[in-house]
Amino acid sequence: MKDAYSIFIDESGGTSPSSKLPDDRYYVLVGVVVANSNIPEFEKSCDQIKQGNSEIKASSIRSRDFLSYVSKISKIDYRYYVLIVDKQEIDDNSGVYKNKQVYIKFFVNKLIEQVAGVYDNLKVFFDAIGDNEFRDSLTRYVHSKNDTYEMSLLKGTSTSPIVFDNVDSKAYRGVQIADFTANVFRRLLNRRISFSDIEEIVKKKISIDVYPTRVLERKIETIKIEFDSYVSEAVHDQITNYISENIGRGNEDSSIKIDILQYLLNNPQEFTNAEKISRHLSEIRGIDGVDGVRVRREISKMRSKSLPIASSKKGYKVPYSMVDVNLYIQKVDSIVDPYVMRLGKFRDLLKKISGGGMDILDHANAMKLKHYLDTAENALLDAGK
């Protein structure tokens, strides 16, 4: 059975969307992810740092002690997601700019959407702000948005709907660590600490998202932490090399593959389904017949040639960060694991009936699958010892 997870969310920075003050340019949300089975050990580690204080609260830590807390907290076993909002780049006419409640709801849910497709049985705990009416409204908003998100996954295995709750940070160490981590990033963005001061905490990140997305490239140069550089550089080089080696070959298959890759490179922020890619290809090529089935088939062929194209339940994209990779792993696991499990049960049944004399995988064409199942069984046995 897969472990259930909790995500603890807190913020740093003013919640007034229209504030353009230099020290209030950035609004940072952090979601700390902890497996429920690891929460007791996680909380124990946090309590050792609190040292009698009611909670770990970044705003209550003296400036001269801050980096000491950075060092201590970096030793805690936790991972997190980050959403950085650059208020100076938000369109003055947008809904999130004009309304504080819309602003908070939109960005809290945007952070949750980074995580919702990755973890099963997710519980979300957000540091309570505002009055009871706003908290109830925020809860309804998050649930409604993520119910829609779940339905958009269409058919197949999907993650369970999330559970969202507004909580008092004093009772939730995960929220306290989220508060501290968000403050770390905001201090970095405001040039109050250097990247080298917080490098060990930055290494714990799973993904960093920036809003609005048009400032993403500049942010990469500015704080050097938005994308996992190993993933983005390796993927980009592999795909662009393939395009340069195959462009102009003249045959239809190569041409379609290159058009697909160029579309994905030009749309790096979101997963795109095969039907939307198909419509794009039909428009630029001026012909019909490049349907979703053909797109999926060409992508499968490219993957067989080691071209890194990630997929999730929402579609395909070029993977630029570890969250893209994690979503791809989740998709593969949701497809492969049920089939392998069913085959393993059928294999065990026939072994039992035949007194161990019949193994349906005991022939040359199934040796890889047999090795996979046997290795998985041995790993489970070792884990149970």
Q: pLDDT confidence of 219, banded at 50, 70, 90? A: very low
Q: List alpha helices for 53-158, DSSP H.
A: 66-73, 95-98, 100-116, 132-152
Considering the four listed CATH numbers 3.40.1350, 1.10.10, 3.30.70, 2.60.40, the one that applies to the domain covering 231-320 is: 1.10.10
Residue partners of 112: CB distance under 8 A and separation at least 6 = 7, 9, 31, 124, 142, 146, 162, 164
pLDDT band at 313 (very low <50, low <70, confident <90, very high): confident
Mean local confidence (pLDDT), 10-35? 84
pLDDT over 50 at 385, yes or no: no
Task: Place 209 in a pLDDT band, splitting at 50, 70 and 90.
Answer: confident
Q: How far apart are CA 66 and CA 88, in angstroms?
A: 27
Q: What does the pLDDT average to over 103-124? A: 82
pLDDT at 340: 77
Tell me the range of 64-73, 82-91, 145-154, 156-165 where mean pLDDT is highest. 64-73
Q: What's the confidence (pLDDT) of residue 75?
A: 93
Backbone angles phi, psi at 291, to 5 degrees: -85, 180
pLDDT at 160 over 70: no
Could you give the maximum distance between any two Cα atoms of the chain, in Å? Answer: 77
Return d(Cα 335, Cα 346) in angstroms, integer.
18
More confident of the two residues 113 and 135? 135
- Give the chain's mean pLDDT: 79
Mean pLDDT of 160-187: 90
How do residues 257-310 score in pLDDT, each as one tens digit?
A: 888 888 888 777 678 899 998 888 888 776 666 788 888 989 999 888 888 888
3-state secondary structure of 146: helix
Euclidean distance between CA atoms 24 and 74, whole angstroms:
25
Give per-residue burial for 147-170: e unless 16+ CB within 10 Å, then b.
Answer: eebbeeeeeeebbeebebebbebe
Secondary structure class of 79 (helix, strand, coil): strand
Which of 64-68, 109-113, 350-354 is least confident?
350-354
Instruction: Determine how many CB atoms are found less than 10 A away from the CB of residue 116.
Output: 22
What local confidence, expressed as pLDDT, does residue 180 receive? 96
Q: 3 phi and psi, to 5 degrees?
A: -70, 145
Instruction: Assess whether pLDDT exceeds 90 at residue 330.
Output: no
The rounded percent of the chain whose pLDDT value lies above 90 is 19
**pLDDT > 90? residue 248:** no
pLDDT tens profile 43-56: 999 999 987 677 89
| Cα–Cα separations (whole angstroms), residue 122 to 154, 163, 167, 332, 344 | 19, 6, 16, 20, 29
pLDDT of 73-95, one tens digit each?
999 999 999 998 888 777 777 77
Give the residue carrying structure tokens 């938005």: 226
Q: Which sequence spans correspond to the domains of the chain?
A: 5-226, 231-320, 334-384
β-pair partners for 34: 6
Pull the structure tokens for residue 197: 């001061």
Contact 342, 348 (CB under 8 A): no
> Quick one: pLDDT band at residue 227, thresholds 50, 70, 90?
very low
Intrachain domains 5-226 and 231-320 with the same fold: no
Q: Which residue has the higher pLDDT, 134 or 270?
A: 134
Number of separate helices (H) and strands (E) present in the chain: 14, 8
Mean pLDDT over 15-26 rounds to 74
Residue 42 predicted with pLDDT over 50: yes
164 - beta bridge partners? 124
pLDDT at position 148 = 46
Q: How high is the pLDDT of residue 182?
A: 95
> What homologous superfamily does CATH list for 5-226?
Ribonuclease H-like superfamily/Ribonuclease H (3.30.420.10)
Instruction: Return the bridge partners of 8, or none.
Output: 32, 125
What's the helix, strand, coil split of the chain in %, to 5?
60, 15, 30
